[in-house]
Structure 1
Amino acid sequence: MTGVLAVTSRPQPPRVAERRKPYRGEERRAAILRALEDLLQQRSLEEIGVADISEAAGVKRNTFYFYFANKAVAVAALLSELFGEMFAGAIPFVEHDSDPADSVRIAIDNTVAAWHKHHLLYHAVLDASHSDAAVREFWNKWLSQFIEPVAATIDSERKAGRARPGPNSLSLASALISMNVTFLDSVGRSGFTAEAAEEARQTLFHVWFSALYS
């Protein structure tokens, strides 16, 4: 439910024996992404140039292009990392391994926590999607990958008799995910205080649980 809820597979944490020091190239790529996220919290993507990102990351301009074809591709990489961060909290819901109320609550808590942590980045990406076709295409594609897993979970819960009958699962999943994005974006722009985050958790839980199980 991750800005949205859903995942496509269970993440596999590396075994201790497999852990290693990051290669220099990995460190440079990570530095570029950290610099981009920091800059996006200060100004819009339109106002940020590749030279700005490179300078903030402490790398040369051609190093940026070694890892990313353009700013939109770098934004896509940032969002992909956020997807992984949101992954774990949705596992109880998509794998039906806990009480429905608990699984929905865990997924919502994880969604709100992730949005709270990165809300400035989400705002910047959403704003950029209005004027940058490449960012808009990736954002829409990124959201769409959540819809089918959530819809499949809804169908499975209905078949098991836990979830109530209702509208087409794909349409319902799409509507709920879109609601998460719109609502959390609004909360973030109004000030993501601890009180606002708690109210958002309670509101989204009520809507999701009522839509699926009430």
Structure 2
Amino acid sequence: MAHKSFEDVTIADIISGTPHSRSAFYHHFAGKYDVLVALAELVLAESYDGPQLWDTAPGRARSHGMRASIAPTLNMWATHGGVIGAVVEHMHSNPDVETVWRPTFDRFVTGVAEQIRHERDCGRAPEGAPAEMIATVLVCGIERVMYVCTRRLDPHLPALSSAVDAVDWLTRSVLRPPDQTDGATADRITTPTVEPPGWARPEAEQPAAAEADTRSTAILDSLRELLLELPLDKLSVARIVQRAGLSRSTFYFYFDNKNAVFAELYREVAASTVERLKALDTIDRADRSAVRTVLREWLRIDAQTTSVMTSALLEWPRRPELREVYREGISQMADYLAHTITTDRRSGIAVAGPPADELAAVILWTIERSIAGALAGDDNLTDLDQVTDFLGELLTTAVYGRP
């Protein structure tokens, strides 16, 4: 599966190169998801067969163990990235896949939450959001960052090892928030040039007639409305054109399929999201309360945007038409955030820390995965407002240190 997406893998692919027939395959497995579950069970047992984070008592040993626990996770992703990546892609859509992944995920969450409570009891970590929610956000972030690195989806994180320092920094920002004397790691990048987002189609591709614009807009608006009622995978072209009051032939004149419509719809959401983040340029970033206010507003979204984001967050790893658009939006935000971190470190507003490009990417993928979990109703993330408030605080602390 390292050379082919799980979506495209067939039973014939699985049995090719083996002496087994299709009937022999179906004697043992009901389908390819059963194979994925069996492989995931073997990989997880092999990767976490020794003493782990959760085997130590909360305290100094577990604190050191939190960074050490990244090593077997890195090795698992490096060795079995195809299998674990497929698990991550399908855990929200296939209950059996989620069942095999969830126990290990939950053990990490429990271990980190216990450590957070211990640090709070000792007066070293600030009070605030529930420990289980914070721990879930951190574990979600690690999961997503490992996935992104393995799939080579983000140029800011070209290898698994490039994410380790930033992941560790984000964890320490929760347990023992940095101040101006912490983390003297030098940046490895020059300040990037941040261009305005170029989401519009090239001029040659734009429909020339106002009527054509109206029709394509009607298709987009139709899907936008339908997503308030049903998830993307339950919608058909027939439903979209019926709501838009157009024919199927008109639909296919503008779009190849419903995924292409959704990708265009997401472009609009992504462009707006990038612009709202750039509101950081309009404030005094030395004022932490102003930073938190901007970030809180950036992370809050209305009902229609939420419906688009829900499908995008859960579907992008599995839909090629959406994946590139999605990566483009994250990349623009990472470029902007890295630029801001670099600028504010040079002016003494932000604390020194991991390379700005790596930190920006890890923060954004952690936010992305946590909101995806919240929209999917994951344990400990059911209160979206509480999750977004914490994510804004986490970003502020990771970049600017404790008050």
1:203 aligned onto 2:395: no
Separation in structure 1 between the aligned mates of residue 359 and residue 246 of structure 2, nearest angstrom: 45
| Residue aligning to 1:59 | 246
| Residue aligning to 1:156 | 343
| Residue aligning to 1:143 | 330
Separation in structure 2 between the aligned mates of residue 122 and residue 200 of structure 1, nearest angstrom: 15
| Residue aligning to 2:300 | 113
| Paired AA for residue 307 in structure 2 | L
| Residue aligning to 2:369 | 182
Separation in structure 1 between the aligned mates of residue 389 and residue 313 of structure 2, nearest angstrom: 24
Q: CA deviation at 1:118?
A: 2.2
Alignment of structure 1 residues 51-130 onto 2, 5 Å: 51-93=238-280, 95=281, 97-100=283-286, 101-114=288-301, 117-130=304-317
Q: CA deviation at 1:53?
A: 1.2
Listed one character per residue, the Cα deviations across residues 76-112 of structure 1 (whole Å, up to 9, x for unaligned) are: 211121133334432332x264234245324322332
| Residue aligning to 1:18 | none
Separation in structure 2 between the aligned mates of residue 91 and residue 141 of structure 1, nearest angstrom: 16
Distance change in 2, residues 1:89/1:142 (3 Å):
closer
Distance change in 2, residues 1:153/1:37 (3 Å):
same
Q: CA deviation at 1:58?
A: 0.9
Q: CA deviation at 1:155?
A: 0.5
Separation in structure 1 between the aligned mates of residue 316 and residue 218 of structure 2, nearest angstrom: 23
Could you tell me whether the CA contact under 8 Å between 2:351 and 2:399 is conserved in 1? yes
Larger mean Cα displacement after TM superposition, 151-160 or 37-46: 37-46
Separation in structure 2 between the aligned mates of residue 180 and residue 204 of structure 1, nearest angstrom: 6
Q: CA deviation at 1:179?
A: 1.3
Separation in structure 2 between the aligned mates of residue 88 and residue 103 of structure 1, nearest angstrom: 17
Could you tell me whether the CA contact under 8 Å between 2:259 and 2:322 is conserved in 1? yes
Structure 2 stretches of 5 or more lacking a match? Answer: 1-193, 199-208
Separation in structure 2 between the aligned mates of residue 10 and residue 72 of structure 1, nearest angstrom: 22
Q: CA deviation at 1:56?
A: 1.4
Residue of structure 1 aligned with 2:357, choices 170, 182, 186: 170
Distance change in 2, residues 1:8/1:111 (3 Å):
farther
Provide the secondary structure at the position in 2 that maps to 1:114: coil
Could you tell me whether the CA contact under 8 Å between 1:150 and 1:173 is conserved in 2? yes
Separation in structure 2 between the aligned mates of residue 181 and residue 198 of structure 1, nearest angstrom: 14
| Residue aligning to 2:29 | none
| Residue aligning to 2:17 | none
Q: CA deviation at 1:116?
A: 5.7
Provide the TM-score with structure 1 as the length reference.
Answer: 0.76
Provide the secondary structure at the position in 2 that maps to 1:9: coil
Separation in structure 2 between the aligned mates of residue 187 and residue 110 of structure 1, nearest angstrom: 17
Of structures 1 and 2, the one with the larger relative CO (CA 8 A, separation 6+) is 1
Distance change in 2, residues 1:189/1:34 (3 Å):
same
Q: CA deviation at 1:149?
A: 1.3
| Paired AA for residue 285 in structure 2 | D
Provide the secondary structure at the position in 1 that maps to 2:392: helix
Distance change in 2, residues 1:86/1:127 (3 Å):
closer
Larger mean Cα displacement after TM superposition, 37-46 or 73-82: 37-46
Larger mean Cα displacement after TM superposition, 173-182 or 107-116: 107-116
Listed one character per residue, the Cα deviations across residues 24-47 of structure 1 (whole Å, up to 9, x for unaligned) are: 333322221121123334334333
Could you tell me whether the CA contact under 8 Å between 2:228 and 2:304 is conserved in 1? no
Could you tell me whether the CA contact under 8 Å between 2:292 and 2:393 is conserved in 1? no
| Paired AA for residue 155 in structure 1 | T
1:43 aligned onto 2:230: yes
1:26 aligned onto 2:213: yes
Separation in structure 1 between the aligned mates of residue 227 and residue 197 of structure 2, nearest angstrom: 30
Distance change in 2, residues 1:71/1:8 (3 Å):
farther
Structure 1 stretches of 5 or more lacking a match? Answer: 1-6, 12-21
| Paired AA for residue 99 in structure 1 | R
